[in-house]
Amino acid sequence: MSGKFELHLRVRVKPESRPAFEALLREAIPVYERPGGIRVRVVQGLDDPNQLTEIVEYADRRVYQADQLRVESDPELKGLLARWRQLLVGQPRVEFWSDASAPCTPWPPTLPELRTDRLLLRAFEERDAYPAAMLCGDFEIAATTLLIPHPYSRDHAIGWIRMHHRAMIEGRGPTYVITCDGDLVGAIGLMVDRTHERAELGYWIGKAHWNRGFASEAARAMVDHGFDVLKLERIFAGHYAANPASGVVLKRAGMSHEGTQRRHVLRFGVWHDLEMFGVLRSDWLLTRAEVSG
Ligand SMILES: CC(C)(COP(=O)(O)OP(=O)(O)OC[C@H]1O[C@@H](n2cnc3c(N)ncnc32)[C@H](O)[C@@H]1OP(=O)(O)O)[C@@H](O)C(=O)NCCC(=O)NCCS
pLDDT at 201: 98
Cβ atoms of 174 and 113 within 8 Å: the answer is: no
Ligand 1 pocket, residue 248 CB under 6 Å: yes
Dist. CA 98–CA 94, nearest whole Å: 14
pLDDT, one tens digit per residue, over 134-172 is 999 899 999 999 888 888 888 888 888 888 877 877 778
Give kind and range of the element (H or E) at residue 31. helix 18-33
Which domains, and CATH codes, for the chain? 5-98 (3.30.70.100), 114-292 (3.40.630.30)
Bigger pLDDT: 9 or 235?
235
pLDDT, one tens digit per residue, over 168-211 is 777 788 999 999 999 999 999 999 998 899 999 999 999 999 99
Task: Calculate how far, in angstroms, residue 205's C-alpha sits from the geometric centre of ligand 1.
Answer: 9
> Which of 146, 185, 207, 248 should be mutated for ligand 1, with most atoms under 8 A from CB?
248
Task: Calculate how far, in angstroms, residue 11's C-alpha sits from the geometric centre of ligand 1.
Answer: 42
Q: If you write DSSP's letter for every residue of 122-161 in order, what string do you get?
A: EE--GGGHHHHHHHHTSHHHHHHSSS--SS--HHHHHHHH
Assess whether pLDDT exceeds 80 at residue 238. yes
pLDDT at 120: 96
Task: Calculate how far, in angstroms, residue 235's C-alpha sits from the geometric centre of ligand 1.
Answer: 19
pLDDT, one tens digit per residue, over 254-284 is 999 999 999 999 999 999 999 999 999 999 9
Task: Calculate how far, in angstroms, residue 246's C-alpha sits from the geometric centre of ligand 1.
Answer: 5
Please provide the average confidence, as pLDDT, over all residues in the chain: 88
Which of the residue ranges 73-87, 173-187, 224-238, 256-270 would you say has the lowest mean pLDDT?
A: 73-87
Cβ atoms of 168 and 109 within 8 Å: the answer is: yes
Assess whether pLDDT exceeds 80 at residue 104. no
Amino acid type, 73: S
> Which of 119, 177, 246 should be mutated for ligand 1, with most atoms under 8 A from CB?
246
Q: Is the peptide bond before 15 cis (omega within 30 degrees of 0)?
A: no
Dist. CA 64–CA 98, nearest whole Å: 12
pLDDT at 129: 86
Assess whether pLDDT exceeds 70 at residue 239. yes
pTM: 0.73
190: number of Cβ within 10 Å: 24
Grade residue 107 by pLDDT with cuts at 50, 70 and 90. Answer: low
Cβ atoms of 186 and 214 within 8 Å: the answer is: yes
The single-letter DSSP state of residue 77 is: H
Task: Calculate how far, in angstroms, residue 14's C-alpha sits from the geometric centre of ligand 1.
Answer: 46
